[in-house]
């Protein structure tokens, strides 16, 4: 299998396709270098990724270690709160991306538009199309898919990974973000 | 009604009293001398007649484009790469290209309904005559064609009158489609305005198609107690020969039922249907059955139950003939739009066609004469059924287990599945003899069959799923209320005031196809939730079927548990796709009957009324088709927001408001002309939700309107906040935007909300007589 293949076969990318995240350090560097990162978290993070582990727990660690503001899409804000983590905001996925394509949007804190948008947990096809909106209409924002499947419309994406490899990558990102 | 289409041109005319030069006089298209209501400004509107209204909407709800494809491949300059807003060889940019594709989709959708209407009206005129009266509810429905009255400014009284309207609609569609040619329209907003025109024309088509068939065929006429009819596999008597009809144009299916009736066969042959033809056969004959929505096509054919398959048009699987051959069932195609590669036998003798189909000499026939379809179908099914013996293609359990062992776990099935169902795990378990995981997929599966075509070892995955759930499938036996058609004028009188004042919290129209993200149960959940909350829930099409396929603790389907009247707490099945016109019609009639606004060719004013006052929301949870796009755009132009499921994002364009931009949310107070802030009500016009929970909260929010009374707003806020707390686990963060004064605050939440208002620096605003149209401002009274 080619590494840069859309997970849903028919959702092929266009002429400009995501670069592969070959090692977790790439994501760590991008987050650390970004002046205004934002993490958009979809309903899929409620899925369990191991017997006693839901993805949302990893995401909370990642946001905390990376000091990245979190947008909880769909109805999942309550699940964050149950874990004593308050997302920066709760907003439908189409709403947050609609604001990201607006160069004049002052951001959630009034300090200006973001320069790095990380995505995880949206339905594959929905994330695909939302990332494409950003690819075309928000070229100053770099986008990263942290999902376990290749998202061709991001600037950077993992290849199609096994759950185990994916979790290992995410945990490594979290570890490295925590390191000085 | 008479038609006047007169143009008089005089270059120079000398008379005793003077000289006239270059006089050009045009008289309108159709004038109804007997209708006293004054003619409004936009009779038979041209493509640009309502452009100004469209731009008002599009200013608030700016298109948000999510390109579904980075290229344009429509001409031989291309392919053109439009990535990053590059321009193509014709000069088009990505925004215009996306809106152009949306327009193309809406033109396709509108064309299907117009083609359907044209066929229906021509057929009915031939059968019943041009003077056959339009009657869709007797004395209960005096405003029999609200969309046509609103758009065209005419009042059709006979089938013949519908032809003139059809001609107008077809000409508009031609112009709209023409505008998508390479190198024409350049501006995305102008494309969007045309999308709205296509939607409006689509609603005209829906209405004339449905009122024609209701009038001529005697379907339920605005009847809240339309009969409950059987739905589901288990409702079908498989001991009888079974004719399965699929599609949206009921004409040939009616002929089948007529023939069965005339020949005392109606109790001896089972007629069942899929998709909208299914709705319409039960509107004609309550003993007919509905199999289910479009997603049931493959599973029902493979079950071997149908002895004969009759297809008409729209949403018919393109592999029906192949699938039918596998179960040795002949196919009759009946529409010029769907000939299925079959030989045209329209002019052959009935007995010859029957002989060929029964013997299997030919797998199917194209018959374009509906009456002949009726006779051939009845004769074929009674002869084929005894020899077919319900031959099916579902495997035996042991066969399934053995084949499942061949799975290579390549996951190509999952990668082909629209909803990425965990198929590999289910097949692996099946290979070990455990079919429960396969059976669990049954309710989630949308029945597309893509998994099978992706499987490298040829596992018939869909058949496996169906086999694993065979017992469940055979027990599917539900009741759905047959499509009632229009909403009675008296029902509108009863609910007009509480809707406009906000005391009935909203009208939730659950419509459209069956491309559900997590199965049809979510549709039933949404319908029952809002009915319990005393919203008026209206259903149509495949969604109306899906809503029926679940039972409460007492074993009742939603249509048994809730009233079929257009009233608070009702679940109202209006009928097939074309019956969606009655949902738009109800909103229009509220403006006319309750508010006494002139309807006739007065589109802008009525849309402005609906937009600002009627808390209606469309929900197309599984929308997949171009028709759904056209129907939705007709609602947008009327100011009715539409929520779609996550797959709806693939329509590639949303119409989203920005609630934080205060300047976007001002209206005129028609009493004074003042501009008044009214908050983001409704916040969006077209919106894709990621989950059912998100959709439910958004539906409640989108029902708010500037005109709500304080009591009405308090009721609506109660539902919005209550749903948000239950489904999100939090208080919404935008409550302050919807509170205009303290009386809007739900009494039980007062302390909590007052605290939020203080934190947000909220200021009281007044409740205006809201309008977006400066011409509706009445002069300020002198003190």
Q: Are strands A116-120 and A37-41 parallel, antiparallel or unpaired?
A: parallel
pLDDT digit string, tens, across residues B61-98: 999 999 999 999 999 999 999 999 799 999 999 999 99
CA B510, CA B293: separation in Å to the nearest integer? Answer: 14
Minimum-distance CB partner of B691 among A15, A74, A124:
A74
Contacts A–B by Cβ distance under 8 A? 119
Domains within chain B, CATH numbers bracketed = 34-60+79-221+480-659+684-705 (3.40.50.2030), 233-388 (3.40.50.2030), 397-446+456-474 (no CATH)
Q: Report the candidate in B588, B582, B495 with the shortest Cα–Cα distance to residue B540.
A: B582
CB within 8 Å: A89 and B733: yes
Separation of first and last alpha carbons in chain B: 47
Minimum-distance CB partner of B646 among A16, A99, A126:
A126
pLDDT digit string, tens, across residues B299-340: 999 999 999 999 999 999 999 999 999 999 999 999 999 999
**CA distances from residue A75 to A2, B182, B645 in whole angstroms, order as listed:** 35, 42, 14
Minimum-distance CB partner of B730 among A10, A81, A122:
A81
CB within 8 Å: A132 and B66: yes
Residue environment code for B752-772, b if the CB has 16+ CB neighbours within 10 A, otherwise e: ebeebbeeeebeeeebbbbbb
Name the band, by pLDDT with cuts 50, 70 and 90, for residue B2. Answer: very low
CA B196, CA B199: separation in Å to the nearest integer? Answer: 5
pLDDT at B362 over 70: yes
- Are A62 and A173 in contact, with CB atoms under 8 Å apart? yes
Residue of A133, A139, A143, A159 to mutate, testing the B interface (most B Cβ within 10 Å of its Cβ): A133
pLDDT at B705 over 60: yes
- Cα B613 versus chain centre, distance: 22
CB within 8 Å: B420 and A15: no
Model pLDDT, residue B34: 76
- Are B373 and B333 in contact, with CB atoms under 8 Å apart? no
Q: What pTM does this model have?
A: 0.95
B448 touches chain A (CB under 8 A): no
Model pLDDT, residue B26: 47
Contacts of A78 in chain B (CB under 8 A): 728-730
- Are B246 and B312 in contact, with CB atoms under 8 Å apart? yes
- Nearest residue on chain A to B650, alpha-carbon basis: A129
Which segment of B185-189, B432-436, B515-519, B722-726 scores lowest on mean pLDDT? B515-519
- Are B540 and B577 in contact, with CB atoms under 8 Å apart? yes
Contacts of A82 in chain B (CB under 8 A): 729
**Other CB atoms within 10 Å distance of the CB of residue B28:** 13
Name the band, by pLDDT with cuts 50, 70 and 90, for residue B13. Answer: low
CA A54 to chain B, closest CA, distance in angstroms equals 18
Model pLDDT, residue B20: 64
Minimum-distance CB partner of A129 among B84, B94, B650:
B650
Q: What is the mean pLDDT of chain B?
A: 95
A123 touches chain B (CB under 8 A): yes
pLDDT digit string, tens, across residues B652-678: 999 999 999 999 999 999 999 999 999
Model pLDDT, residue B8: 52
Model pLDDT, residue B721: 98
Minimum-distance CB partner of A42 among B454, B690, B697:
B690
What are the boundaries of each domain within chain A?
19-178
Contacts of A96 in chain B (CB under 8 A): none
Cβ-Cβ contacts under 8 Å for B239 (sequence gap 6 or more) = none
Name the band, by pLDDT with cuts 50, 70 and 90, for residue B780. Answer: low
Give the mean model confidence (pLDDT) for residues B180-205: 97
CB within 8 Å: A79 and B729: yes
- What angle, rounded to 10 degrees, do the helices at B159-178 and B188-217 form? 160
pLDDT digit string, tens, across residues B119-152: 999 999 999 999 999 999 999 999 999 999 999 9
Beta bridge partners of B677: B666
- Are B320 and B289 in contact, with CB atoms under 8 Å apart? no
CA A111 to chain B, closest CA, distance in angstroms equals 15
- Are A40 and A87 in contact, with CB atoms under 8 Å apart? no
B93 touches chain A (CB under 8 A): no
pLDDT digit string, tens, across residues B102-118: 999 999 999 999 999 99
Model pLDDT, residue B127: 96
pLDDT digit string, tens, across residues B535-572: 999 999 999 999 999 999 999 999 999 999 999 999 99
Give the mean model confidence (pLDDT) for residues B275-281: 97
Name the band, by pLDDT with cuts 50, 70 and 90, for residue B378. Answer: very high
pLDDT at B773 over 60: yes
* Rounded average pLDDT per 10-residue block, chain A, 180 residues: 86 95 96 98 91 90 97 98 98 98 97 98 98 97 98 98 95 90
Q: Report the candidate in B280, B284, B278 with the shortest Cα–Cα distance to residue B233.
A: B278
pLDDT at B23 over 60: no
Output DSSP code: residue B240: S
Give the mean model confidence (pLDDT) for residues B28-53: 85
Model pLDDT, residue B502: 85
Determine whether B491 is exposed, middle or buried from the number of CB atoms within 10 Å of its CB (0-12, 13-18, 19+): buried
- Are B544 and B518 in contact, with CB atoms under 8 Å apart? no
ipTM: 0.98
Please report, rounded to a whole number, the percentage of residues in chain B having pLDDT higher than 70. Answer: 95
Token output for B602: 């007065």
Token output for B237: 């008597």
pLDDT at B3 over 70: no
- Are A58 and A171 in contact, with CB atoms under 8 Å apart? yes
Model pLDDT, residue B783: 44
Q: Report the candidate in B226, B232, B334, B203 with the shortest Cα–Cα distance to residue B284.
A: B226
Cβ-Cβ contacts under 8 Å for B656 (sequence gap 6 or more) = A94, A95, A98, B61, B62, B64, B684, B685, B686, B687
- What angle, rounded to 10 degrees, do the helices at B188-217 and B626-637 form? 100
Q: Which CATH number fits domain A19-178: 3.40.50.2300, 3.80.10.10, 3.40.50.1220, 3.90.550.10?
A: 3.40.50.1220
A169 touches chain B (CB under 8 A): no
CB within 8 Å: A8 and B67: no
Token output for B326: 């596998």
pLDDT at B31 over 60: no
**B770-771 sheet: strands from edge to edge:** B675-677, B666-669, B770-771
- Are B500 and B238 in contact, with CB atoms under 8 Å apart? no
CA A80 to chain B, closest CA, distance in angstroms equals 10
Cβ-Cβ contacts under 8 Å for B220 (sequence gap 6 or more) = B214, B226, B227, B283, B482, B483, B484, B485
Q: Report the candidate in B240, B249, B257 with the shortest Cα–Cα distance to residue B307.
A: B240
């Amino acid at each position: 299998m080619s590494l840069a293949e859309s997970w849903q076969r028919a959702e092929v990318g266009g002429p400009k396709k995501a670069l592969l995240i070959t090692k977790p350090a790439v994501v760590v560097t991008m987050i650390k270098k970004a002046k205004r990162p934002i993490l958009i978290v979809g309903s899929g993070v409620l899925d369990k990724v191991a017997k006693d582990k839901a993805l949302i727990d990893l995401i909370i660690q990642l946001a905390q270690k990376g000091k990245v503001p979190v947008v909880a899409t769909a109805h999942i804000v309550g699940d964050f709160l149950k874990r004593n983590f308050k997302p920066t905001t709760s907003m439908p996925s189409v709403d947050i991306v609609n604001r990201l394509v607006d160069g004049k949007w002052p951001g959630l804190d009034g300090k200006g538009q973001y320069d790095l948008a990380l995505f995880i947990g949206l339905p594959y096809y929905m994330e695909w199309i939302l990332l494409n909106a950003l690819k075309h209409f928000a070229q100053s924002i770099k986008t990263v898919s942290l999902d376990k499947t290749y998202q061709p419309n991001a600037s950077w994406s993992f290849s199609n990974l096994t759950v185990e490899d994916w979790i290992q990558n995410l945990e490594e990102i979290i570890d490295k973000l925590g390191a000085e | 009604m008479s038609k006047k289409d007169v143009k008089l041109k005089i270059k120079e005319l000398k008379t005793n009293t003077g000289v006239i030069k270059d006089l050009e006089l045009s008289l309108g298209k159709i004038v109804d001398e007997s209708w006293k209501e004054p003619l409004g400004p936009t009779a038979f509107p041209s493509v640009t007649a309502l452009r100004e209204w469209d731009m008002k909407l599009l200013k608030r709800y700016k298109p948000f484009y999510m390109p579904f494809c980075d290229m344009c491949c429509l001409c031989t300059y291309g392919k053109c790469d439009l990535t990053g807003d590059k321009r193509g060889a014709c000069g088009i940019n990505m925004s215009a290209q996306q809106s152009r594709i949306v327009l193309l989709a809406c033109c396709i959708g509108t064309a299907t309904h117009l083609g359907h209407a044209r066929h229906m009206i021509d057929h009915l005129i031939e059968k019943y005559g041009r003077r056959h009266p339009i009657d869709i509810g007797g004395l209960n429905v005096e405003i029999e064609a609200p969309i046509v009255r609103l758009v065209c400014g005419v009042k059709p009284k006979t089938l013949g009158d519908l032809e003139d309207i059809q001609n107008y609609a077809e000409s508009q569609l031609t112009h709209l489609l023409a505008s998508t040619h390479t190198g024409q329209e350049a501006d995305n907003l102008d494309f969007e305005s045309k999308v709205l025109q296509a939607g409006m024309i689509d609603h005209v088509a829906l209405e004339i198609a449905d009122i024609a068939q209701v009038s001529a065929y005697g379907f339920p006429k605005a009847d809240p107690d339309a009969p409950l009819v059987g739905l589901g596999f288990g409702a079908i008597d498989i001991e009888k020969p079974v004719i399965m009809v699929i599609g949206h144009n009921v004409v040939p299916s009616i002929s089948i039922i007529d023939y069965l009736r005339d020949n005392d066969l109606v109790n001896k042959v089972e007629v069942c249907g899929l998709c909208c033809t299914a709705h319409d056969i039960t509107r004609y004959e309550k003993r007919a059955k509905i199999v289910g929505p479009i997603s049931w096509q493959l599973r029902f054919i493979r079950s071997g139950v149908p002895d004969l398959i009759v297809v008409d048009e729209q949403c018919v699987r393109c592999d029906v003939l192949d699938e039918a051959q596998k179960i040795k069932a002949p196919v009759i195609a009946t529409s010029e739009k769907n000939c299925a590669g079959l030989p045209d036998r329209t002019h052959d003798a009935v007995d010859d066609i029957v002989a060929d189909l029964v013997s299997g000499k030919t797998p199917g026939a194209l018959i374009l004469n509906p009456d002949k379809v009726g006779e051939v179908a009845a004769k074929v099914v009674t002869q084929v059924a005894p020899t077919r013996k319900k031959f099916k293609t579902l495997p035996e359990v042991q066969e399934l287990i053995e084949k499942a062992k061949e799975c290579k776990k390549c996951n190509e099935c999952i990668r082909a599945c629209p909803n990425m169902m965990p198929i590999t795990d289910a097949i692996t378990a099946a290979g070990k003899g455990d079919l429960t995981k396969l059976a669990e997929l049954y309710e989630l599966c949308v029945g597309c069959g893509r998994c099978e075509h992706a499987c490298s070892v040829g596992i018939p995955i869909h058949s496996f799923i169906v086999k694993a759930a065979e017992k469940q499938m055979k027990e599917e036996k539900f009741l759905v209320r047959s499509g009632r058609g229009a909403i009675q004028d008296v029902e509108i009188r009863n609910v007009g005031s509480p809707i406009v004042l906000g005391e009935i919290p909203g009208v939730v129209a659950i419509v459209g196809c069956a491309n559900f993200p997590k199965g049809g149960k979510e549709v039933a959940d949404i319908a029952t939730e809002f009915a319990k909350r005393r919203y008026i829930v209206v259903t149509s099409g495949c969604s109306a079927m899906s809503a029926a396929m679940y039972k409460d603790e007492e074993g009742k389907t939603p249509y048994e548990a809730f009233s079929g009247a257009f009233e608070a707490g009702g679940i109202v099945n209006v009928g097939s796709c074309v019956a969606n016109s009655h949902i738009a019609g109800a909103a229009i009639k509220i403006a006319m009957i309750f508010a006494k606004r002139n309807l006739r060719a007065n589109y802008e004013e009525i849309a402005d009324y609906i937009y600002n006052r009627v808390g209606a929301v469309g929900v197309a949870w599984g929308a997949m088709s171009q028709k759904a796009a056209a129907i939705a755009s007709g609602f947008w132009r009327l100011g009715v927001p539409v929520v779609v499921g996550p797959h709806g994002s693939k329509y590639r364009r949303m119409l989203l408001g920005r609630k934080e931009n205060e300047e976007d949310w001002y209206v005129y107070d028609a009493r004074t002309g003042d501009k008044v802030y009214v908050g983001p009500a409704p916040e969006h016009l077209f919106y894709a939700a990621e989950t059912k929970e998100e959709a439910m909260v958004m539906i409640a929010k989108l029902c708010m309107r500037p005109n709500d009374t304080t009591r009405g707003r308090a009721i609506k806020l109660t539902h919005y906040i209550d749903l948000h707390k239950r489904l999100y686990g939090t208080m919404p963060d935008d409550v302050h935007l919807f509170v205009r004064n303290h009386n809007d605050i739900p009494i039980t939440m007062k302390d909590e909300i007052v605290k939020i208002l203080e934190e947000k620096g909220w200021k009281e605003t007044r409740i205006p007589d809201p309008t977006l149209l400066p011409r509706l401002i009445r002069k300020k009274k002198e003190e």
